[in-house]
Amino acid sequence: MEHNHAHGHHCECGQETKTENLAELYNLYSKIDMENLECLNEAVENSVKSVFRPWDQRLDSTKFVESDADEELLFNIPFTGNVKLKGLIIIGGEGGTHPSLVRLFKNRPHMTFDEAASQPDQELNLVEDFEGTIEYATKIVKFSFVYHLTLHFPKNYGSETSKIQFIGLKGDWSEGHRHGVTLCTYEATPSMADHKDKVLQTTNLNI
């Protein structure tokens, strides 16, 4: 846990003079399937869509997600392809509303709070970040083939509700598994035809 915590600070120091790089690297917001993006326990419906935006717009305090019944938030984030997730940035609210922990799950679409009680693929302690300059590294080997990411924020810094202003995701994107299935379907058709041709040839030879 502490390694993750410290790594966030380390990255902050290493990237302070390279803000343009952060803007280029944190571009996975454009690869999210916004139509199917969802957040459980959000106070305002569809406010989740506003927190995934360009890094240089991260400080826009008019766009945020706030929890409703309690401090928990659960984001189900489908991508338009496959992602190798390398890092994330979380800007939270002030007054104790900033999340203090995030639990990451890969490739488990439409997770519920009950399902989020299971063992995550990674867990990160979060420090209060109001500028969007603290990075958290993911276990790249574990998150190298992600078509759906779930972020569970179970607690915060003491407030009854949680508030998130910006979520930045860094990584590589490639065309998705759905496209691969389509290709397999097209490949299957000619192979069946080839098989039939071979059967016919065999029959002719027997005759």
Per-residue pLDDT tens over the stretch 7-51: 444 343 333 335 668 888 999 999 999 999 999 999 999 999 999
Instruction: Give the Cα separation of 28 and 173 in Å (integer).
Output: 8
Domains of the chain, each with CATH number or no CATH: 22-174 (2.60.120.470)
The per-residue pLDDT for 183 is: 43
pLDDT for position 21: 84
- pLDDT single digits (tens) 121-133: 999 999 999 999 8
**Rounded (to 5) percent helix, strand, coil in the chain:** 35, 30, 35
Contact 156, 92 (CB under 8 A): yes
What is the rounded distance in angstroms from the CA atom of residue 68 to the CA atom of residue 56? 28
Residue 24, Cβ density class (10 Å: 0-12 exposed, 13-18 middle, ≥19 buried): exposed
pLDDT at residue number 23: 85
pLDDT at 22: 86
Phi-psi region of 23 (alpha: psi -120 to 50; beta: other; left: phi over 0): alpha
Tokens 């690869």 locate to: 31
Identify the segments of the chain with pLDDT beneath 70. 1-20, 177-207
Token pair 């706030």: residue: 66
